[in-house]
Each structure stands twice: as structure tokens, then as C-alpha cells.
Amino acid sequence: MQHTLTFADVQSVKRLAKQLKQVHPELPHGKRLDLAAAELLGVRNYHELNRRFQAVIDQYLDSPSGPNAVAHCLYCDFRFAADLKDDQREHRENHERIMEVHEITGYRPGTYVERETLKKDGHTKARSAGPLEDRIEGALLILRGWFDRSYHSAIEAGQWRKHPSFEVYVAMMVPYIEEFLPELAPSLAQRYGRTPGVIAHGQTNWPLQ
């Protein structure tokens, strides 16, 4: 197998295994998964596919040693006890949700650390004495940090397809920006529009439907 396994690869194998029930009704589901994995991806069986896919997921883990150590996934931002099976399963489910969205849309919302960096850099720029364009860029960095947290919450709730795009989200946040960064709000409104009443004042998360 030359390419890195994706979430879509694994889902394709599962779909083919279901279809193979018509051809091989005598085989249990596990055997049909083995056939599908071999046919689509050239691996010996589904167990090998699952093991390789787990390695793709685990490459992002920051796992300190020692008792009571908490593993942290730098991709999906999940923290868990790496030695607990239930935690491992919950991490994989969370990771796969983010992977699916990333593969479909090409976008992965930032982790907590990444979001905080965006907001910190944004505050510095937005409140500087620099040119207006630079300050607007700073405001957009802050908004990107907020957007990513909101989008991440929508993914966890299974509502990411309904979540507004960044541009639409900015328009929803302009009423808040009018108080937060009043001197920059008119420029943002001119570029993105102004959509009051969707996101509650003082909040930054799009309301889950």
C-alpha cells in the first residue's frame, strides 16, 4: 500500500463488505471485510487495514510516560488516558469525525493551542497603531480562532454541514465586533455584511440547530 490510509478508504471497504453479502451470503461479516480490504487496498485482511489505520491516527499523539499520564492528540485535540480501552475508542471516534470533515472539505479546525495563538496574534495586530488593513487582518485572526471553536463544536454534534462558512460567520459576529473592536466593525461589515440575531450577544459559537 503506497498511499497513506484515509477515513474514506476505510469507509469504502465497509461499503464493499456490505455489497458482498449478495455475492457471498454464506460468509460472516468479518470475512467479507477481509475480502473487501484485500480487493480495494491490497492488504491481507481487515485486521491489517485496521492496524495500519490506527497507526495513521496515533502518529499525532503526544503521550508522556508515567502513571496517570494523559495522551493528547495534536490533530483532533482529544485528551485521554491512553491505557484505557474506552478512552482509546472514544479518541478514535472523535478523530475519525475530524478526519471525515477534513477529507471532505479540505479544512480542519484548529486545536485549542492553535486557536489561542490565532487570538493572541490577532489581538496584538487589531489593537496596534499600524495601518487599518493590518488591524483588520488582526480582527480576522481573532474571528478565525472563534470560528474554529464553533466549527469544532458543530463537528462533535454532527452538525458541521449546517455550520456557516467563515465569511457568513463573520457577518453574524459583526454586531459583537461593533462593541469589541468598534473602529474595525464598519470595514468588516462592508466586506462581509452584518447579520444580527443569529449568534447571541457576547457569544462566539454558532447555535447548534
CA distance 138 to 124: 7
Write the CB contacts of 199 (distance below 8 Å, at least 6 apart in sequence). 172, 173, 176, 205, 206, 207
Q: Which pLDDT score, from 0 to 100, does residue 1 have? A: 44
CB 163 within 8 A of CB 171: no
- pLDDT under 50 in the chain at which residues? 1
| HSE value, Cβ hemisphere, 13 Å, CA-based, for 96 | 16
Where would I find the beta strands (DSSP E) of 8-144?
A: 61-62, 71-73, 79-80
This prediction has a pTM of: 0.88
Q: Which pLDDT score, from 0 to 100, does residue 2 have? A: 55
